[in-house]
Structure 1
């Protein structure tokens, strides 16, 4: 990413949770430890089904007396509804501020030019009153500013950042191996841990119970993780969601996201999985590359 580029992520949404029970409420639901979130640190997390399957993912940022949740806009209504169901009588207020606040992303290098910045994933600072944080999933994905829409362009001018095409940012995310969009296509299709959440700092295996914790911990402790969500590059042809992926007639995975930034659930430990090989679907030849931040 160019150090002067900024990407206005208008397909992101903002929820704000506030109230005296908010911290405990989130701690009992999310896959990460809410105690990691403070004025100087933000975290990546997910909300899973009771069976441990993927439902929603988001970044949590401490702001004033509550917490900002940065999520994909296509997921915000479902996430809002799910949180409201779990809320019951808890003293928690859930606000959808997506029409008032915007998410702007810029480079890792630009973030490090801030005087207080530290080169740590999730590190958070304030630009005036607005949070800026290095992406907690992977610092190479850059930083994000969450700001009121009315203040956005004046702040970007003062920061010497220039609006660039959002697709450039999402292409970089796909190349890095991190799903940029179309997350609803993953719902209930794979376990959260198969989304590489351990490597993306999205699961805390030392915290107490949360929704989906039992199966997540079992897969981890019994070394049952045999499939991972990995990016696809199309060599030729066309992908279709849900179709199988083959190597020499042996099925090694399934396409889950088929459009602009495709991903598949891959049996990455299978003897037929070779990162250097070409793979086939019904109508396409593809490449699959395991990101270098996945060590096993």
Structure 2
């Protein structure tokens, strides 16, 4: 029997479009991935960083006709468009807000890829229902990302056998896999991409030319400066507030970065990770335990 597959509207994410003949060159100097990889059959994950190499925006991009469809954070969509316009200058580029026309939908569950007819490799994309669907370019285990017309997405997915999931189901699935998303999980102008898995999640192309924040990102990688990692945690008891410092044997070992029910994300110091994994951490009567997802590749700690 085919596994169940679910869909969930993701109001935290929205769509914009970047068009015009200079769109590839324009974005190439801004984002952490290579625009040459973006096509109608291939989506990519990328970050737009600050000049200091810190997280600013996370993006999922796929091509449709003569434009890129871009997934971005809903609450910061206007800020992103404003920032892109600042860099536009004389480039032949168009920037459009598609939120009134399209929605971002997450499709997940064991049967999601089969129902859509997508390969299980990161970013595989195809047209569907007046929009575009693609295997999540960060991690195929996340499922399928869909850009679909707002008026018809529910009918399209129901006809394909998807059941509507309770709100928050995909977030729980994403946290279980330890994948961060948006400013709720990644502090703008503070989070370091390589501490948050952007390399393993296919968000950085190390062969492309310069982009904003590239020098500091490369230095972090090649000089072995990653000393912390954002990892999934579980809470046994009342979840501690975001920002709570974590200590073990009187030592500062990290802090809570995201909370959603009994799951969350914490930025943990690698030098103490073995002890954290073995012993857990007690915070005001709540047990905090961490895990390492199979996609995470940790650097050796001297």
TM exceeding 0.5: yes
Counterparts of 1:61-140 in structure 2, within 5 Å, are 61-107=62-108, 109-115=111-117, 117-140=118-141
Using the size of structure 2 for normalisation, the TM-score is 0.90
- Alpha-carbon offset, residue 89 of structure 1: 2.1
Separation (CA, whole Å) in 1 of partners of 2:196 and 2:76: 16
**Cα deviations across residues 101-156 of structure 1 (Å, max 9, x unaligned)?**
011221363223445x3221100011254211000000010002211112212312
**1:293 and 2:295 correspond:** yes
| Distance in structure 2 (CA, Å) of the matches to 1:92 and 1:184 | 30
CA contact (8 A) 2:18 2:67 kept: yes
SS at 1:69's partner residue? Answer: strand
Deviation (angstroms), 1:161 = 1.6
CA-CA distance at 1:29 after TM superposition: 0.3
Q: Note the 1:169-188 alignment, pairs <5 A.
A: 169-180=170-181, 182-183=183-184, 186-188=187-189
Paired residues of 1:3 and 1:106 also in contact (CA < 8 A): no
Give the match for residue 152 of structure 1.
153
Partner of 1:241: 242
CA distance in 2 between partners of 1:281 and 1:31 (Å) = 37
Is the deviation greater in 282-291 or in 85-94?
Answer: 282-291
CA-CA distance at 1:182 after TM superposition:
4.5
Q: Which residue of 2 aligns with 1:262?
A: 264
Partner of 1:280: 282
For 1:122 and 1:68, the matched residues in 2 are separated by: 13
Name the Cα RMSD after superposition.
Answer: 2.1
Q: Which moved more, 1:29-38 or 1:102-111?
A: 102-111
Structure-2 residue corresponding to 1:253: 254
Q: Which moved more, 1:100-109 or 1:141-150?
A: 100-109
Q: Please tell me whether the aligned partners of residues 47 and 55 of structure 1 are also in contact (alpha carbons under 8 angstroms).
A: yes
Using structure 1 for the length normalisation, give the TM-score.
Answer: 0.92
Deviation of 1:54 after TM superposition, in Å, equals 0.8
Confirm or deny: 8 A CA contact 1:182 1:257 kept in the other structure: no
Offset of residue 217 of structure 1: 0.2
Query: 1:197 is matched with which residue?
Result: 198
Partners of 1:110 and 1:288 lie apart in 2 by 28
Residues 41 and 126 of structure 2 are in contact (CA less than 8 Å); yes or no, is this contact kept in structure 1? yes
- Whether contact under 8 Å (1:21, 1:91) holds in the other structure is yes
2:10 is aligned to 9
Q: Residue by residue, what CA displacement relative to the aligned partner does 1:139-191 show, whole Å, maximum 9, x if unpaired?
A: 01000221111221231232122211131111010000012455375112221
Instruction: Count residues with an aligned counterpart.
Output: 295
2: distance between equivalents of 1:103 and 1:252? Answer: 36
Whether the aligned pair in 1 keeps the contact of 2:45 and 2:202 (CA below 8 Å) is yes
Q: Structure 1: any 5+ residue segments left out of the alignment?
A: none
Unaligned runs of 5+ in 2: none
Using a 3 Å threshold, how does the CA distance of structure 1 residues 182 and 273 change in structure 2: closer, same or farther?
farther
Q: Secondary structure at the residue paired with 1:47?
A: strand
Moved more, 269-278 or 159-168: 269-278
